[in-house]
Amino acid sequence: MLVAGMEFVPTTCPYCGTGCSFYLVVRDNRVLGIEPWHTPPINEGKLCQKGRYAHEFIHSKDRLTKPLIKENGVFVKSTWDEAYRLIVKKFKSYRPEELACLASAKASNEENYLMQKFARTVLKTNNIDHCARLCHSPTVSALSEVFGSGAMTNSILDLQESKCIFVIGSNTFEQHPLIGRRLILAKKRGAKIICADPRYTPTAKQADLYLSMYSGTDVALLNGLMHHILENGWEDRGFIGSRTKGFAAMKNTVMKESYDLKHVSKLVGIPESDLATAAEWIAKSKPSALIYSMGITQHTVGVDNVKSVANLMMLTGNIGKPGSGVNPLRGQNNVQGACDMGCLPDVYSGYQKVTDQESRSKMMRIWGVDEIANSSAGYTVTETMNLLVDEPGKIKCLYLMGENPMLSDPDLDHVRAALESVEFMVSQDIFLSETAEFADVILPAACYAEKNGTHTNTERRVQRWRKAIDPPGEAKPDWLIISEIAGLMGYDKQFSYKKESEIFDEITEVTPSYAGMNYERLEHPYALQWPCPDISHPGTQILHTEKFATKDGLGLFTAVEWQPPAEVTDSEYPLILTTGRSIWHWHTGTMTRRSKTLDAEVKTGWVEIHAKDAEKLGIDDGEMVRVSSRRGNIEIQAKVTKDIKEGEVFIPFHFKECPANILTNNALDSIAKIPEYKACASKVEKIKR
């Protein structure tokens, strides 16, 4: 659309998994601003702070514009030819098991698809992962097992049909603000909102019932609710009998005395009467929906937590119906897509197992190669970081696209040791991130406004990015960089794409759930939600309406026992630390801290501490304090408040000058390998100068 010399290019927000759309306002190859696009249904022209200013980092003076090669510890500008020559020589010198790739939940589906194809066909390794490992890997593991599909069962708009929305482990109003708006619209239509969180967040403040729980007690809370529902006969027996299996074992577990409301109340720190009210509302409101996010998943029992959430919603018959469902809110704009595209060590795109010979043969045929990575799952990013430290020399080379583990991963001293032990590392990014500092070669990439592509939001909706301007300097889109390296390594035929739509067409050929999509169909402002198995299929708003996606079509109840976090408090570290985000910033701050408006609002981090805990420690609001865990300490400003549970402290993880992840624990969930960001033992002290 062209108005008075300005072009309005429709595209999608690069920040959270809500997937709001807007117009980029462009003149003379510069993005001047953002204007509402009212037609797409998710946000109807409305945006949160981050989306409103999503253009401000694009022309930052810090953008990478030329390849850089490290020489004697200093980055020196190079040509693309020089950088590629070095990369190809090094990549060719390693065995498949010595290489690992990290894809990016910020990049497009096309780029993520190519990254895993590159890992598997060119490098012949399944060591490919991305930051979903750190946010929703338990969702993928647990929901794939119990429902047959590891994604949000319902849709954002559909939340308005709900009569009761149970939000647990999600600060929806700050992290997914335009989904928060749907909660308000549901409330206006009479829905009751329940929020369980250790912090009295903006989401909790909108709730009709706030459950102030201790971090790390989710399974106890959920089992307690189910105990009370069963005790009162409020379960949906018809749904349980016809649609599920495993009910008896699950019931035996939750009906133990340890899960009656009296015991649970003490453990989770919530009055018995509030637990009883929550159980009654969830069971009796028809339909009820459940929303969760990283408060559920970022635990050593993340998979158990998700299975428990699924148990509750199957018990009350709240799956497969409008206004119901298990609704994990995915963090980054394309974390759903990066998983769908197979940027995980055990699956190709569409969650087709690398261990399945039929899938392997299909991939080799469509990719036109005689050999790909073997049929064993590769290492996760968390396992890779541990191996780099514990068994130096086992993994020697890292290829990173847009990832920043040096701020996002737990126990940053451990991450530093891991990155220092890498023999050769390539980082492809739009800025020189904290992680890129460790690279041997840095390749300048294009941002969302400078390329075409698709990405998949939290409700499985595949939407378009449209190129508005050229990348700065010599920067190139990630898909082109990967294709050029593959070509130089002898795979020019397999990576001979001229434009992004050709990659998408290949994605639809290999990925059954995307089979009915193409760029033309995605031009519609409603785009398409997967599964979309054929070209006439309208896409799927609600999963599991008739049967689950499991082999036998039944949903699986699981008996889950509560287990404490890996690290509990003691006299030396008496406070539970939990981490999260601010509404003004995004992840490691590489983009939002380079946005003038967002940076001006919140310039640095803080530690939230309850007023009573602060009083005991003699700490005043605004005072600089030292926060320590068994892994390290940081100095940070105290925010004394009553909006957090006594005994808990909270730090946002965006800020490199006071990085919360120096403190967090890299103990992992045994199945999903996600670290326990949401509960570790810590202490807060006055700084004596």
Pairing of β 6-12 and β 21-27: antiparallel
Binding to ligand SF4 (CB under 6 A): which residues in 252-311? none
Mask: binding to ligand SF4, 51-80, rule CB under 6 A, as x and -? Answer: x-----------------------------
Binding to ligand SF4 (CB under 6 A): which residues in 217-246? none
Q: Which residue, 478, 470, 490, is CA-closest to 443? A: 478
Q: Which stretch binds ligand SF4 (CB under 6 A): 11-19, 137-145, 444-452, 515-523?
A: 11-19
Q: Which stretch binds ligand SF4 (CB under 6 A): 16-24, 94-102, 391-399, 485-493?
A: 16-24
CA distance 10 to 364: 36
Q: Which stretch binds ligand SF4 (CB under 6 A): 17-25, 73-81, 311-319, 470-478?
A: 17-25
Could you say whether residue 169 binds ligand SF4 (CB under 6 A)? no
Could you say whether residue 210 binds ligand SF4 (CB under 6 A)? no
CA distance 409 to 617: 30
Binding-site member from 176, 251, 360, 678 for ligand SF4 (CB under 6 A)? 176
CA distance 78 to 67: 5
Binding-site member from 10, 26, 50, 405 for ligand SF4 (CB under 6 A)? 50
20 or 283, CB closer to ligand SF4?
A: 20
Q: Can you spell out the DSSP letters for 561-582? A: -----SS---SSS-EEEEEE--
Distance of CA 519 to the CA centre of its chain: 25
Phi, psi for 55 (deg, rounded to 5): -95, -15
Q: Which residue, 115, 132, 105, is CA-closest to 402? A: 105
Phi-psi region of 539 (alpha: psi -120 to 50; beta: other; left: phi over 0): left
Q: Which stretch binds ligand SF4 (CB under 6 A): 175-183, 261-269, 561-569, 615-623?
A: 175-183
CA distance 428 to 419: 15
Interface with ligand SF4: number of residues (CB under 6 A): 14
Q: What's the closest the beta carbon of residue 335 comes to ligand SF4, in angstroms?
A: 12
Could you say whether residue 16 binds ligand SF4 (CB under 6 A)? yes
Binding-site member from 107, 134, 178, 418 for ligand SF4 (CB under 6 A)? 178
Q: Which stretch binds ligand SF4 (CB under 6 A): 47-55, 275-283, 382-390, 530-538?
A: 47-55
Q: Which residue is nearest to ligand SF4 (CB)?
A: 51
18 or 494, CB closer to ligand SF4?
A: 18
CA distance 28 to 26: 7
Q: Is 291 helix (H, G, I), strand (E, B) or coil?
A: strand
Dig out the tokens for 307 from the structure.
């299975």
CA distance 483 to 490: 11
Could you say whether residue 461 binds ligand SF4 (CB under 6 A)? no
Q: Is 54 helix (H, G, I), strand (E, B) or coil?
A: coil
Q: Which residues make beta-bridge pairs with 194? A: 166, 209
Tell me the longest C-alpha to C-alpha distance in the chain: 71
Q: Which stretch binds ligand SF4 (CB under 6 A): 48-56, 386-394, 403-411, 488-496?
A: 48-56
Could you say whether residue 582 binds ligand SF4 (CB under 6 A)? no
Binding-site member from 47, 282, 556, 636 for ligand SF4 (CB under 6 A)? 47
- Tokens 């010198």, residue located: 93
Could you say whether residue 165 binds ligand SF4 (CB under 6 A)? no
Could you say whether residue 654 binds ligand SF4 (CB under 6 A)? no
Could you say whether residue 48 binds ligand SF4 (CB under 6 A)? yes
**Is 517 within 8 Å of 538 (Cβ atoms)?**
no
Binding site for ligand SF4 (CB under 6 A): 13, 15-16, 18-20, 43, 47-48, 50-51, 176-178
